[in-house]
Amino acid sequence: MKVRYRALHPFDKEAEERHIQEDHGLHPYDEYLKPGRIPHIWCPGCGLGIVVTAFIEAMKQKNVPVAQSAVVSGIGCTGRVAGYLDMDTYHTTHGRAIPFATGLALVRQDLIVTVFSGDGDLFAIGGNHLIHAARRNVNLKVICVNNFNYGMTGGQVAPTTPIDARTSTTPFGNAEPSFNLPHLAHAAGAVYVARWTTYHARQLVHSISQAFDKKGFTFVEVVAPCPTGFGRPNKLGSGLDEMRHYREVCEVRNGADPSEVEIRLREKIIVGTFVDVERPDFMEHYQSLVVARAQAKAKSKGKGKAA
Protein backbone atom coordinates (compact mmCIF):
# COMPACT_ATOMS: atom_id res chain seq x y z
CA MET A 1 0.00 0.00 0.00
CA LYS A 2 0.98 3.60 -0.34
CA VAL A 3 1.81 5.40 2.86
CA ARG A 4 1.18 9.08 3.45
CA TYR A 5 3.10 10.12 6.52
CA ARG A 6 2.61 13.26 8.50
CA ALA A 7 5.61 15.57 8.08
CA LEU A 8 8.51 14.55 10.28
CA HIS A 9 10.40 17.00 12.46
CA PRO A 10 13.98 15.80 12.43
CA PHE A 11 15.97 15.81 15.63
CA ASP A 12 17.89 19.03 16.02
CA LYS A 13 20.68 18.39 18.48
CA GLU A 14 21.80 22.00 18.66
CA ALA A 15 18.31 23.27 19.35
CA GLU A 16 17.81 20.60 22.00
CA GLU A 17 21.03 21.54 23.68
CA ARG A 18 19.96 25.16 23.74
CA HIS A 19 16.99 23.92 25.73
CA ILE A 20 19.27 22.70 28.48
CA GLN A 21 18.65 25.12 31.29
CA GLU A 22 21.23 27.72 31.88
CA ASP A 23 21.32 26.73 35.51
CA HIS A 24 22.87 23.33 34.86
CA GLY A 25 26.14 23.14 36.71
CA LEU A 26 25.20 25.66 39.38
CA HIS A 27 24.77 22.99 42.05
CA PRO A 28 27.65 20.73 43.10
CA TYR A 29 25.44 17.63 42.64
CA ASP A 30 24.77 18.63 39.03
CA GLU A 31 27.82 16.69 37.88
CA TYR A 32 25.86 13.54 38.75
CA LEU A 33 22.72 14.73 36.97
CA LYS A 34 21.97 14.52 33.25
CA PRO A 35 22.19 17.98 31.71
CA GLY A 36 18.82 19.48 30.97
CA ARG A 37 16.77 17.05 33.02
CA ILE A 38 16.21 19.18 36.13
CA PRO A 39 13.59 20.28 37.24
CA HIS A 40 12.33 16.76 37.82
CA ILE A 41 8.68 15.77 37.62
CA TRP A 42 8.12 15.10 41.33
CA CYS A 43 5.61 17.12 43.33
CA PRO A 44 6.59 19.78 45.87
CA GLY A 45 7.09 18.04 49.21
CA CYS A 46 7.91 14.69 47.62
CA GLY A 47 10.79 12.89 49.30
CA LEU A 48 12.23 11.29 46.17
CA GLY A 49 14.65 14.11 45.49
CA ILE A 50 16.16 13.57 48.94
CA VAL A 51 16.79 9.90 48.19
CA VAL A 52 18.52 10.81 44.93
CA THR A 53 20.62 13.38 46.77
CA ALA A 54 21.51 10.81 49.42
CA PHE A 55 22.51 8.34 46.70
CA ILE A 56 24.73 10.93 45.03
CA GLU A 57 26.25 11.92 48.35
CA ALA A 58 26.97 8.25 49.15
CA MET A 59 28.62 7.84 45.73
CA LYS A 60 30.73 10.91 46.45
CA GLN A 61 31.75 9.72 49.89
CA LYS A 62 32.67 6.26 48.64
CA ASN A 63 34.32 7.58 45.47
CA VAL A 64 32.16 5.29 43.40
CA PRO A 65 33.18 6.04 39.81
CA VAL A 66 30.32 7.17 37.60
CA ALA A 67 31.72 5.16 34.70
CA GLN A 68 31.34 1.96 36.72
CA SER A 69 27.83 2.66 37.91
CA ALA A 70 24.56 1.61 36.41
CA VAL A 71 21.13 2.40 37.75
CA VAL A 72 18.09 0.35 36.79
CA SER A 73 14.60 1.40 37.69
CA GLY A 74 11.08 0.27 37.04
CA ILE A 75 7.93 2.27 36.52
CA GLY A 76 6.32 4.91 38.66
CA CYS A 77 7.52 8.04 40.37
CA THR A 78 10.66 6.31 41.66
CA GLY A 79 11.13 4.72 38.24
CA ARG A 80 11.94 8.18 36.97
CA VAL A 81 15.10 8.37 39.08
CA ALA A 82 17.14 6.64 36.39
CA GLY A 83 16.40 9.40 33.90
CA TYR A 84 18.01 12.08 36.04
CA LEU A 85 21.29 10.46 36.98
CA ASP A 86 24.20 11.04 34.63
CA MET A 87 25.45 7.47 34.27
CA ASP A 88 24.33 4.36 32.42
CA THR A 89 20.70 4.23 33.40
CA TYR A 90 17.90 1.89 32.43
CA HIS A 91 14.23 2.66 32.84
CA THR A 92 12.53 -0.67 32.32
CA THR A 93 8.98 -2.04 32.43
CA HIS A 94 6.77 -2.18 35.49
CA GLY A 95 8.21 -4.50 38.12
CA ARG A 96 11.02 -5.79 35.93
CA ALA A 97 13.89 -3.65 37.14
CA ILE A 98 15.35 -6.48 39.22
CA PRO A 99 15.49 -9.19 36.52
CA PHE A 100 16.89 -6.64 34.04
CA ALA A 101 19.50 -5.65 36.59
CA THR A 102 20.18 -9.33 37.31
CA GLY A 103 21.15 -9.86 33.67
CA LEU A 104 23.32 -6.76 33.70
CA ALA A 105 25.00 -7.50 37.03
CA LEU A 106 25.77 -11.13 36.18
CA VAL A 107 27.53 -10.40 32.90
CA ARG A 108 29.28 -7.29 34.23
CA GLN A 109 30.74 -7.92 37.62
CA ASP A 110 32.87 -4.80 37.28
CA LEU A 111 29.76 -2.61 37.47
CA ILE A 112 27.97 -1.42 40.58
CA VAL A 113 24.35 -1.97 39.69
CA THR A 114 21.75 -0.13 41.76
CA VAL A 115 18.05 -0.78 41.48
CA PHE A 116 16.01 2.28 42.32
CA SER A 117 12.33 1.59 42.50
CA GLY A 118 9.15 2.11 44.41
CA ASP A 119 7.22 -0.13 46.76
CA GLY A 120 4.54 -0.99 44.22
CA ASP A 121 7.08 -1.80 41.54
CA LEU A 122 9.32 -3.95 43.75
CA PHE A 123 6.76 -5.65 45.98
CA ALA A 124 3.51 -5.90 44.01
CA ILE A 125 4.13 -6.49 40.31
CA GLY A 126 7.81 -7.26 40.89
CA GLY A 127 7.51 -9.10 44.21
CA ASN A 128 8.47 -12.44 42.74
CA HIS A 129 11.62 -11.05 41.16
CA LEU A 130 12.71 -9.37 44.38
CA ILE A 131 12.49 -12.46 46.55
CA HIS A 132 14.29 -14.59 43.97
CA ALA A 133 17.08 -12.08 43.45
CA ALA A 134 17.50 -11.93 47.23
CA ARG A 135 17.50 -15.72 47.44
CA ARG A 136 20.15 -15.97 44.71
CA ASN A 137 22.05 -13.15 46.35
CA VAL A 138 22.65 -11.37 43.08
CA ASN A 139 25.08 -8.47 43.56
CA LEU A 140 22.48 -5.68 43.45
CA LYS A 141 22.00 -2.58 45.57
CA VAL A 142 18.26 -2.17 45.90
CA ILE A 143 16.88 1.14 47.11
CA CYS A 144 13.14 0.95 47.63
CA VAL A 145 11.37 4.25 48.10
CA ASN A 146 8.24 3.49 50.08
CA ASN A 147 5.53 6.13 49.89
CA PHE A 148 2.72 3.72 50.82
CA ASN A 149 0.81 4.10 47.56
CA TYR A 150 0.99 4.24 43.75
CA GLY A 151 1.88 7.87 43.28
CA MET A 152 2.26 8.15 39.52
CA THR A 153 -1.21 6.81 38.77
CA GLY A 154 -2.88 8.99 41.38
CA GLY A 155 -2.64 7.40 44.80
CA GLN A 156 -3.99 3.85 44.61
CA VAL A 157 -3.60 1.20 47.29
CA ALA A 158 -0.24 -0.60 47.34
CA PRO A 159 0.98 -3.71 49.17
CA THR A 160 2.63 -1.31 51.62
CA THR A 161 -0.47 0.77 52.36
CA PRO A 162 -1.12 0.37 56.09
CA ILE A 163 -4.39 -1.25 57.06
CA ASP A 164 -7.27 1.22 57.33
CA ALA A 165 -5.45 3.90 55.29
CA ARG A 166 -7.40 5.68 52.58
CA THR A 167 -6.30 5.77 48.97
CA SER A 168 -8.15 6.47 45.74
CA THR A 169 -9.02 2.77 45.39
CA THR A 170 -9.74 2.22 49.09
CA PRO A 171 -12.06 5.18 49.69
CA PHE A 172 -13.47 3.59 52.86
CA GLY A 173 -10.13 2.42 54.23
CA ASN A 174 -7.76 -0.35 53.27
CA ALA A 175 -8.95 -3.80 54.30
CA GLU A 176 -5.62 -5.54 53.63
CA PRO A 177 -2.66 -5.82 55.97
CA SER A 178 0.56 -4.46 54.49
CA PHE A 179 3.93 -6.02 53.79
CA ASN A 180 6.71 -5.45 56.27
CA LEU A 181 9.43 -4.85 53.69
CA PRO A 182 12.61 -5.37 55.77
CA HIS A 183 11.19 -8.60 57.14
CA LEU A 184 10.37 -9.85 53.67
CA ALA A 185 13.78 -8.90 52.26
CA HIS A 186 15.51 -10.51 55.22
CA ALA A 187 13.49 -13.71 54.97
CA ALA A 188 14.25 -13.93 51.25
CA GLY A 189 17.98 -13.73 51.96
CA ALA A 190 19.20 -10.14 51.63
CA VAL A 191 22.63 -9.64 53.21
CA TYR A 192 21.98 -6.05 54.24
CA VAL A 193 18.63 -4.60 55.26
CA ALA A 194 18.05 -1.08 56.50
CA ARG A 195 15.18 1.34 56.77
CA TRP A 196 15.32 5.11 57.06
CA THR A 197 12.97 7.93 56.30
CA THR A 198 13.79 10.92 54.15
CA TYR A 199 14.08 12.87 57.39
CA HIS A 200 17.10 10.70 58.29
CA ALA A 201 19.09 11.93 55.31
CA ARG A 202 22.50 11.50 56.91
CA GLN A 203 21.81 8.00 58.15
CA LEU A 204 20.46 7.16 54.72
CA VAL A 205 23.71 8.32 53.10
CA HIS A 206 25.59 6.14 55.56
CA SER A 207 23.41 3.11 54.82
CA ILE A 208 23.73 3.48 51.05
CA SER A 209 27.49 3.81 51.35
CA GLN A 210 27.58 0.70 53.55
CA ALA A 211 25.58 -1.10 50.87
CA PHE A 212 28.18 -0.05 48.27
CA ASP A 213 30.75 -1.96 50.30
CA LYS A 214 28.70 -5.15 50.50
CA LYS A 215 28.82 -7.90 47.95
CA GLY A 216 25.41 -9.41 47.34
CA PHE A 217 21.82 -8.34 47.56
CA THR A 218 21.36 -5.29 49.75
CA PHE A 219 18.05 -3.69 50.53
CA VAL A 220 17.48 -0.17 51.81
CA GLU A 221 13.92 0.95 52.37
CA VAL A 222 13.34 4.69 52.45
CA VAL A 223 10.05 5.89 53.83
CA ALA A 224 9.16 9.01 51.87
CA PRO A 225 6.36 11.52 52.05
CA CYS A 226 3.81 11.58 49.25
CA PRO A 227 1.65 14.58 50.04
CA THR A 228 -0.30 14.29 46.79
CA GLY A 229 -1.18 10.61 46.69
CA PHE A 230 -1.07 9.43 50.29
CA GLY A 231 -0.95 12.54 52.47
CA ARG A 232 -4.12 14.14 51.18
CA PRO A 233 -6.64 11.29 51.57
CA ASN A 234 -5.19 10.42 54.99
CA LYS A 235 -5.07 14.03 56.16
CA LEU A 236 -1.33 13.86 56.84
CA GLY A 237 -0.82 17.41 55.63
CA SER A 238 1.98 18.65 53.41
CA GLY A 239 5.30 16.97 52.71
CA LEU A 240 6.76 19.12 55.45
CA ASP A 241 4.12 17.90 57.91
CA GLU A 242 5.00 14.32 57.07
CA MET A 243 8.69 15.06 57.60
CA ARG A 244 7.87 16.57 61.01
CA HIS A 245 5.84 13.47 61.75
CA TYR A 246 8.89 11.29 61.00
CA ARG A 247 10.96 13.45 63.32
CA GLU A 248 8.50 12.84 66.10
CA VAL A 249 7.55 9.19 65.73
CA CYS A 250 10.67 7.50 64.41
CA GLU A 251 12.71 5.38 66.72
CA VAL A 252 16.22 4.34 65.69
CA ARG A 253 16.75 0.73 66.67
CA ASN A 254 19.76 -0.71 64.88
CA GLY A 255 19.82 -4.48 64.85
CA ALA A 256 16.10 -4.72 65.56
CA ASP A 257 14.35 -7.93 64.67
CA PRO A 258 12.92 -7.27 61.19
CA SER A 259 9.71 -9.10 62.12
CA GLU A 260 8.94 -6.35 64.61
CA VAL A 261 9.27 -3.29 62.40
CA GLU A 262 5.89 -3.23 60.71
CA ILE A 263 4.56 0.24 59.89
CA ARG A 264 1.05 1.27 60.91
CA LEU A 265 -0.74 4.47 60.04
CA ARG A 266 0.20 7.38 62.35
CA GLU A 267 2.14 5.05 64.65
CA LYS A 268 5.79 4.68 65.58
CA ILE A 269 8.17 3.90 62.72
CA ILE A 270 11.21 1.86 63.64
CA VAL A 271 14.25 2.75 61.57
CA GLY A 272 17.83 1.57 61.52
CA THR A 273 20.12 -1.04 60.05
CA PHE A 274 18.46 -4.34 60.80
CA VAL A 275 20.53 -6.96 59.00
CA ASP A 276 24.20 -7.01 58.02
CA VAL A 277 25.54 -10.49 57.30
CA GLU A 278 27.96 -12.14 54.87
CA ARG A 279 26.94 -14.80 52.38
CA PRO A 280 28.51 -15.85 49.06
CA ASP A 281 26.81 -14.15 46.14
CA PHE A 282 25.43 -15.83 43.02
CA MET A 283 28.58 -15.54 40.93
CA GLU A 284 30.77 -16.92 43.69
CA HIS A 285 28.64 -20.05 43.89
CA TYR A 286 28.32 -20.24 40.14
CA GLN A 287 32.08 -20.11 39.65
CA SER A 288 32.89 -22.66 42.32
CA LEU A 289 30.01 -25.07 41.84
CA VAL A 290 29.22 -24.86 38.14
CA VAL A 291 31.99 -23.37 36.03
CA ALA A 292 34.84 -25.25 37.72
CA ARG A 293 33.09 -28.61 37.34
CA ALA A 294 31.90 -27.93 33.78
CA GLN A 295 35.37 -27.03 32.62
CA ALA A 296 36.93 -30.00 34.39
CA LYS A 297 34.41 -32.24 32.66
CA ALA A 298 35.08 -30.62 29.31
CA LYS A 299 38.82 -31.22 29.77
CA SER A 300 38.48 -34.88 30.71
CA LYS A 301 36.16 -35.45 27.75
CA GLY A 302 38.62 -33.78 25.43
CA LYS A 303 41.39 -36.08 26.70
CA GLY A 304 39.25 -39.14 26.16
CA LYS A 305 38.61 -38.14 22.56
CA ALA A 306 42.26 -37.52 21.85
CA ALA A 307 43.17 -40.91 23.28
Partner 1 sequence: MAEKDLLTGEHFIHGDAACAEGGIAAGCRFFAGYPITPATEVAERMAARLPQVGGIFIQMEDEIASMAAILGASWGGVKSMTSTSGPGFSLMMENVGLGMMTETPCVVVDIQRAGPSTGLPTLVGQADVMQARWGSHGDYGCIALAPSSPQECFDYTVLAFNYSEIYRQPVFVLADEVVGHTTEKVVIPRREDLRIVARAEPQAPAHDYLPFDSAGPLPAPMAIAGAGYRVHVTGLTHDERGYPVITDVVQERNVRHLVDKIRKNADKIIRAEQIHLDDAEVVVVAYGCTARVARQAVEDLRRRGHRAGLLRLITLWPFPSQIVRRLATTVKAFIVPEINYGQMAYEVERTAGGGVEIVLMPLMGGSIHTPEEIEEAVGEYL
Partner 2 sequence: MRFWRLPLDAEHHSIPRGEVHIIDNRCKGCGFCVEFCPNGCLRESKRFNVKGYHPPEMVYGAEEDCGDCGLCSLICPEFAIYTQLKEAKKITEDDIQKVTTRYSRKDRRYAKKR
Site residues (vs partner 1, CB under 8 A)? 5-6, 8-11, 13, 16, 34, 36-37, 66-68, 70, 72, 82-83, 86-93, 96, 98-108, 110-111, 128-129, 132, 282, 286, 290-291, 293-295, 297-298
Judged by the rule CB under 8 A, the positions of this chain that interact with partner 2 are 23, 26-30, 33, 38-40, 42-50, 52-54, 57, 198-199, 201-202, 205, 238-240, 243-244
Please state the closest distance from residue 146 (CB atom) to partner 2, in A: 16
Please state the closest distance from residue 166 (CB atom) to partner 1, in A: 30
> Do 283 and 139 meet the contact criterion of CB atoms below 8 Å apart?
yes
Q: Which does 6 bind (CB under 5 to 8 A by kind): partner 2, partner 1, none?
A: partner 1
Please state the closest distance from residue 277 (CB atom) to partner 2, in A: 28
Work out the angle at residue 254's Cα, subtended by the Cα atoms of residues 74 and 149, and round it to the nearest 5 degrees.
30
Please state the closest distance from residue 103 (CB atom) to partner 1, in A: 3
Q: Considering the complex, state which of residue 5 and residue 172 has its C-beta at the smaller distance from partner 1.
A: 5
Q: Which does 104 bind (CB under 5 to 8 A by kind): partner 1, partner 2, none?
A: partner 1
Q: Considering the complex, state which of residue 77 and residue 115 has its C-beta at the smaller distance from partner 2.
A: 77
Q: Which does 233 bind (CB under 5 to 8 A by kind): partner 1, partner 2, none?
A: none
CA dist., res. 276 & res. 214, Å (int): 9
CA dist., res. 238 & res. 72, Å (int): 30
Q: Which does 290 bind (CB under 5 to 8 A by kind): partner 2, partner 1, none?
A: partner 1
Q: Considering the complex, state which of residue 240 and residue 290 has its C-beta at the smaller distance from partner 1.
A: 290
Q: Which does 272 bind (CB under 5 to 8 A by kind): partner 2, partner 1, none?
A: none
Q: Give the pairing of strands 269-276 and 192-197.
A: antiparallel
Residue 80 is classified by DSSP as G
User: Rounded to 5, what percent of the chain is helix, strand, coil?
Assistant: 40, 15, 40
Q: Which does 96 bind (CB under 5 to 8 A by kind): partner 2, partner 1, none?
A: partner 1
Q: Which does 288 bind (CB under 5 to 8 A by kind): partner 2, partner 1, none?
A: none
Q: Considering the complex, state which of residue 84 and residue 282 has its C-beta at the smaller distance from partner 2.
A: 84
Q: Considering the complex, state which of residue 64 and residue 98 has its C-beta at the smaller distance from partner 2.
A: 64
Question: Contacts by 239-247 with C-beta closer than 8 Å and gap 24+?
Answer: 239/43, 239/44, 239/45, 239/46, 239/47, 240/45, 242/45, 242/47, 243/47, 243/197, 243/198, 243/199, 246/197, 246/198, 246/199, 246/200, 247/199
Sequence-ordered list of residues with C-beta below 8 angstroms from that of 31, at least 6 positions apart, any chain: 25, 86
Q: Which of 155, 94, 102 is nearest to 127 (CA)?
A: 94
Please state the closest distance from residue 160 (CB atom) to partner 2, in A: 20
> Do 113 and 105 meet the contact criterion of CB atoms below 8 Å apart?
yes
User: Identity (one letter) of the amino acid at 14?
Assistant: E
Sequence-ordered list of residues with C-beta below 8 angstroms from that of 141, at least 6 positions apart, any chain: 112, 113, 114, 115, 208, 211, 212, 218, 220
